[in-house]
Amino acid sequence: MFHHIFQYEFLQNSFLTGMLIGIIAPLLGVFIVVRKLSLIADALSHISLSGIAATMLAATYSPILSTISPLYGGMLFSVIGALSIEKLRSVYKHFEELAIPIIMSIGIGLGVIFISLADGFNQDLFGYLFGSVSAVGRTDLFSIFIIGLLVVLTIFFVFKELFLLAFDEEFGKAQGIRSSTVHFIFIILVALVIAISIRIVGVLLVSSLMTLPVAASMRVSKSFKQTIIFSIIFGEVAVVGGLVSAFYLDLAPGGTIVCILAIILIITILFTKKFKYNER
């Protein structure tokens, strides 16, 4: 069943990229959920779409720009969007949640304008919206490897700081943690991971890979570290299963990955309910 993965280079790229994303997306997702910023992934994915569409549009006017992957434009816009969210959260101190829908709305608006200027949707843009098994190249794989390495190293070295700021920011500040610096590094990593994950999951579904594994993990885990471990396991199962299903059934990988995550979530909810019922 898996012999095609070792036979075709594009499938090797897709699976290796997917497995890396299956680790780092839920890893960051745990901290996002705990900080009650689950919708930030949706906002940044939409602003990433604007960057992708803008790069595609620019490529139609300049042959030089046509050599640049639209994914890098998406990454640039995603980082700008992430920094804008942090800035807006400081502007609306008592209504911080407003920052996310503001950036999401701007991202959708810009995306629609750029897409319309580029004469609407095409096959490449469709792949960015819903994910694509065949679109992942060696350059994408190398990019996600570098970003993944940065994520893992950052979490390893500032785990204590991220943990304290996620659960009790005021206490963390009292302990001498430079919250603004930690937030800055964290939000940049989130932006990069969301942008690079679009290749596999797609713009419209990328937030699911950051939240659904965490939601399922929280039903069965008994500690924060267990939540991280189970989230990564669920993410990997969904990515591998989703990519295999997408290839053999000729479906968009984003949809199959999210459906598997939804099934995992339902199973964990039913399992915990039954377990609690049996304890009575």
Q: What is the CATH classification number for the domain harbouring 140?
A: 1.10.3470.10
Give the whole-angstrom CA distance, residue 235 versus residue 227.
Answer: 12
Query: Which carries the bigger pLDDT value, residue 217 or residue 7?
Result: 217
pTM of the model: 0.85
Domain membership of residue 52 (yes or no) is yes
pLDDT in tens, 44-63: 888 988 888 888 888 777 77
pLDDT above 50: residue 209: yes
Confidence band of 277 (pLDDT split at 50, 70, 90): very low
Decide: helix, strand or coil at residue 119: coil
Q: Is residue 127 part of a domain?
A: yes
225 located within any domain: no
How far is C-alpha 37 from the chain's CA centre?
13
CB 167 within 8 A of CB 159: no
231 assigned to some structural domain: no
Q: Is the pLDDT of residue 275 over 60?
A: no
What is the span of the domain harbouring residue 94? 3-206
Asked if residue 266 belongs to a domain, the reply is no
pLDDT digits (tens, 9 = 90+) for 98-133: 888 888 899 888 888 887 786 655 556 777 777 776
> Looking at the domain assignment, is residue 215 inside a domain?
no
- Total domains in the fold of the chain: 1
**Distant-in-sequence, close-in-space partners of 83: CB < 8 Å, separation ≥ 6:** 184, 187, 188
pLDDT given at position 135: 67
Residue 250, SS3? coil
> Residue 168: inside a domain, yes or no?
yes
What count of Cα atoms within 13 Å lies in the side-chain half-sphere of residue 257? 35
Of 11, 14, 48, 32, nearest to 213 by C-alpha is 32
Would residue 230 count as lying in a domain? no
Q: Hey, what are 212's tokens?
A: 């659904």
Q: Which amino acid is at 33?
A: V
Label residue 216 by pLDDT band (50, 70, 90): very high
Average pLDDT for 124-149: 77
